[in-house]
Amino acid sequence: MRTPRVISTFLLCASAVSVHAQTVHLLPTNYFASDLSYDGSIATGNMIGPYEPFRWTVEGGVELIGGATVPTIGVGAGTPDISYDGTRISATILDETGTLATMGVWTLGHGWDSVVEADNPNVVNVDSNLSSAWGLSGDGTTISGYFYGSAAGAFGRAHPCTWSEMNGLVPLEVDFGRNSRVNALNYDATIGCGWEERPDGVWQPTVWREGEKMRLSPNLAFTTCEAINASGDIVVGSGFLEFTQNRVASIWRWDGAEYVEQQLDLLPGTPAFQGWAIATGLSDDGSIVVGTNFYSQSPGGSADGIVWTEATGLVKAKDYLVAQGFEFEDSIDIIGVASVSPDASTFIADYFDHRTSQIGCMILRLPRACSADLNGDGELNFFDVSQFLALYGAGDLSADFDGNGELDFFDISAFLGLFSQGCPS
């Protein structure tokens, strides 16, 4: 493979940039993050109360970006999500009339656009809602979630969907008369995951793969798929352990024909029938899965964040993070882990401070957040560029910096961008 000219020129001006150690960023009170860019240097979430989306960066902290629905119509829904490069955010915002909640996309340097309006013949207004955003593809082109359908058998029901500028609103397959939602999309939006309800209303984990709906692990409990990796070959969420009647965090891996479930252990002390767990995020390579373990049926009850790796199994998130070199006051408990960045460098964790009785959110970054430091010597310099060239020329997916499973110009651009930014603190 011939080395592109832009890389050859860049070799001449490579310089050293320092790499920093692990860091903890506490978000302001009532700010809770929900999703991370590829390298974890940019995040998004909601401010509790007005439910206004924000964008967080390592350098600048949090910035409210508008789009709040609660102050105007008293309704908030969905979760903000962010593209791999951090330039686009999806969320539920006000429609163009300013009176209804609907899907929206925020673009750096432009702001918000609502994308599903009341004049769409497929959509009806239900309790001041037209549609709701719950996921964004890694490339930032496509939003997922649901709209309230107008068709027979779907009237007033949540209909799973995607939206993109190229294709507009795309309804996805759903059984007649059922509610459903797409919680997450892979990098190029060819695969989505979420839930579809049974006839009795109980949610079931569901994947839409290349347009084909696939039910994962049918069971008797409310279970769901919550997150998906770039290739769409790994999804995580919750399954059902029939022996103890607990919902458990689960991983499903594509084997070429179907998704095969791996149910994870519950934390010690989780009671049968009452406690439950859910996986809410994963790294692109599937090496790290995160989520929450609840010790009662109530989501507001006692809980611990969880981390799973092949080496550690399922462990308390605080124990895992301490083993990675993070330090916490004794009064701090990690009560949930919402997400891990696709490159596995950064975590969003909710915490409870027993000293102040405050619940808050923190973003924790590991030293390997400097993904452009390919030779691991603690500096960005000529040798990292040289190694990237070697990997790229050999077709090694370690050079897949945009996470789409292919090597192309976008990986070159992503690497150059990370290199020029230096290593975030």
Mean pLDDT of 117-126: 96
pLDDT digits (tens, 9 = 90+) for 91-105: 999 999 999 999 999
Average pLDDT, the chain: 91
The more confident residue out of 5 and 101 is 101
370 band by pLDDT with thresholds 50, 70 and 90? low
Given a contact cutoff of 8 angstroms between Cβ atoms, the answer to whether 382 and 409 are in contact is: no
Mean pLDDT of 376-394: 84
pLDDT digits (tens, 9 = 90+) for 187-226: 999 999 999 999 999 999 999 999 899 999 999 999 999 9
At 421, is the secondary structure helix, strand, or coil? helix
Mean pLDDT of 105-114: 98
Per-residue confidence (pLDDT) for residue 56, from 0 to 100: 97
pLDDT digits (tens, 9 = 90+) for 41-55: 999 999 999 999 999
pLDDT of 230 > 50? The answer is yes
- Tell me the C-alpha distance between 313 and 100, whole Å: 44
pLDDT digits (tens, 9 = 90+) for 250-298: 999 999 999 999 999 999 999 999 999 999 999 999 999 999 999 998 7
Mean pLDDT of 146-154: 89
pLDDT of 110 > 80? The answer is yes
Global confidence as pTM: 0.84
pLDDT digits (tens, 9 = 90+) for 166-194: 999 999 999 999 999 999 999 999 999 99
Per-residue confidence (pLDDT) for residue 338, from 0 to 100: 98
At 404, is the secondary structure helix, strand, or coil? coil
Mean pLDDT of 380-403: 83
Per CATH, the homologous superfamily of domain 27-369 is TolB, C-terminal domain (2.120.10.30)
- Give me the residue spans of the domains in the chain: 1-20+370-425, 27-369
159: which 2 tokens?
């209909």
Closest CA to 25 of 33, 17, 37: 33
pLDDT of 391 > 70? The answer is yes
The more confident residue out of 425 and 132 is 132
376 band by pLDDT with thresholds 50, 70 and 90? low
Given a contact cutoff of 8 angstroms between Cβ atoms, the answer to whether 316 and 334 are in contact is: yes
For the ranges 37-46, 366-375, 378-387, the lowest mean pLDDT is seen at 366-375
pLDDT digits (tens, 9 = 90+) for 318-353: 999 999 999 999 999 999 999 999 999 999 999 999
pLDDT of 16 > 60? The answer is no
Residues 6+ apart with CB under 8 A from 79: 34, 35, 46, 91, 133, 134, 135
12 band by pLDDT with thresholds 50, 70 and 90? very low
pLDDT of 61 > 80? The answer is yes
Per-residue confidence (pLDDT) for residue 4, from 0 to 100: 38
Per-residue confidence (pLDDT) for residue 15, from 0 to 100: 40
pLDDT of 18 > 50? The answer is no
The residue assigned the tokens 């969880």 is: 306
82 band by pLDDT with thresholds 50, 70 and 90? very high
Residues 6+ apart with CB under 8 A from 132: 77, 78, 92, 101, 102, 103, 145, 146, 147, 158, 181
